């Protein structure tokens, strides 16, 4: 019996985990919160592909797997291709009747960090989206190459310190804006694209369910707070994510068929970005007087983006 809607957390908690403990992710890592939620939001069979990254190196180190479903890792860049061509194989075998159970419902999912999604695997992801496979790609966006010790990615926001875009006596950290991956994926004409956050568990579960149910290539960018590289206490993962969504640093929204934009979360009190930045070590240097302009720029970018999203939502086109 398929899980159709999840009314409340109590009901959700009756689902059975298919992502097991004793993986090697850091204590307090948001990756596994997101992965668990994805897997618990459906009871269909799953074929999951993972790009190289924190999730992959922490969940399938021989002789252990934390996956109770079919799972594959090839390289840093090609999980979208692995999942999409596994989906092609499913189509072919279903047509020929060579599957063990020809009617078993199955969903194809690919996971990648922002390094593999925004940077090294960008081409592979774009190709799979364009080809129109029935699969869902989920980016676990922690805004840096955390698996290799915190280097910059094109998802790293302005002003963040990383080991390859450092804050120093003449530098305030990363100078370039974060790539707008959600817009790029929407521009592929994907039937469902969203940006979701694990602190808003219900909109996240709903978004996952939509992506899994909708036929065609769907993309979801999830904010995955990184205790190690963002430099905050592991217990604060959800608190930091609350700040990310309530400052609108990470607005929660979906885009249907490339154009219909819906905002999924409107903070009652929009917080100033300083609250979010100040809670993390990677932004500590921005609070020096000479870097005040960077915080102002970040706030301006947030305000403009929020204005843009609201207008796009109102436009209904």
One of 111, 118, 172, 201 touching other proteins (CB under 8 A): 201
104 CB burial (10 A radius; 0-12, 13-18, 19+): exposed
One of 38, 71, 203, 276 touching other proteins (CB under 8 A): 71
Q: Which is nearer to other proteins, 92 or 315 (CB)?
A: 92
One of 55, 77, 250, 279 touching other proteins (CB under 8 A): 77
293: Cβ–Cβ under 8 A, 6 or more apart, which residues?
Answer: none
Binding residues for other proteins, how many (CB under 8 A)? 89
One of 4, 5, 16, 269 touching other proteins (CB under 8 A): 16
- Tokens 């609350």 belong to 242
Assess contact for 35 and 55: CB atoms under 8 A.
yes
One of 99, 256, 263, 271 touching other proteins (CB under 8 A): 99
**C-alpha separations of 107 from 44, 99, 212 in Å:** 7, 15, 7
In the bound complex, what is the minimum distance in angstroms from residue 34's beta carbon to other proteins?
9
In the bound complex, what is the minimum distance in angstroms from residue 150's beta carbon to other proteins?
19
Rounded CA separation 238/136 (Å): 24
Spell out, one character per residue from 126 to 165, where the chain touches other proteins: x when CB under 8 A holds, - when not.
Answer: xx--xx----------------------------------
Signed CA dihedral, 139, 142, 146, 150: sign only = positive
Rounded CA separation 39/61 (Å): 20
Q: Which stretch binds other proteins (CB under 8 A): 139-147, 175-183, 232-240, 279-287?
A: 232-240
In the bound complex, what is the minimum distance in angstroms from residue 68's beta carbon to other proteins?
5
Q: Which is nearer to other proteins, 60 or 256 (CB)?
A: 60
Does 89 contact other proteins by CB under 8 A? yes
Does 315 contact other proteins by CB under 8 A? no
Beta bridge partners of 222: 140, 196
In the bound complex, what is the minimum distance in angstroms from residue 2's beta carbon to other proteins?
10
Does 66 contact other proteins by CB under 8 A? yes
Closest CA to 157 of 305, 267, 307, 268: 305
Assess contact for 220 and 228: CB atoms under 8 A.
no
């Amino acid at each position: 019996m398929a899980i159709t809607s999840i009314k409340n957390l109590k009901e959700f908690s009756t689902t059975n985990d298919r992502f097991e403990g004793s993986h090697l992710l850091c204590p307090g890592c948001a990756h596994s919160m997101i992965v668990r939620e994805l897997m618990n939001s459906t009871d269909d069979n799953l074929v999951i592909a993972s790009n190289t990254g924190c999730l992959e190196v922490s969940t399938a180190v021989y002789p252990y797997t934390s996956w109770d479903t079919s799972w594959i890792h090839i390289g840093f860049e090609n999980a979208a291709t692995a999942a999409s061509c596994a989906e092609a194989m499913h189509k072919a075998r279903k047509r020929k009747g060579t599957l063990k159970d020809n009617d078993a419902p199955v969903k194809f999912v690919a996971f990648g960090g922002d390094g593999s999604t925004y940077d090294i695997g960008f081409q592979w992801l774009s190709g799979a989206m364009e080809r129109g496979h029935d699969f869902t790609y989920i980016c676990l966006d922690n805004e840096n190459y955390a698996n290799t010790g915190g280097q910059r990615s094109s998802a790293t926001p302005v002003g963040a310190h990383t080991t390859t875009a450092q804050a120093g006596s003449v530098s305030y950290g990363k100078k370039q804006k974060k790539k707008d991956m959600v817009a790029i994926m929407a521009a592929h004409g994907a039937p469902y694209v969203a940006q979701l956050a694990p602190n808003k568990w219900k909109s996240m579960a709903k978004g996952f369910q939509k992506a899994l149910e909708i036929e065609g290539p769907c993309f979801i960018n999830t904010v995955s707070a990184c205790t190690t590289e963002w430099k905050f206490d592991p217990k604060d993962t959800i608190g930091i994510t609350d700040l990310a969504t309530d400052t609108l640093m990470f607005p929660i929204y979906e885009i249907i068929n490339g154009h219909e934009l819906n905002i999924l979360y409107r903070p009652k009190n929009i917080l100033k970005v300083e609250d979010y930045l100040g809670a993390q070590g990677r932004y500590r240097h921005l609070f020096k007087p000479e870097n005040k302009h960077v915080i102002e720029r970040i706030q301006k970018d947030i305000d403009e983006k929020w204005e843009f999203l609201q207008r796009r939502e109102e436009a209904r086109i």
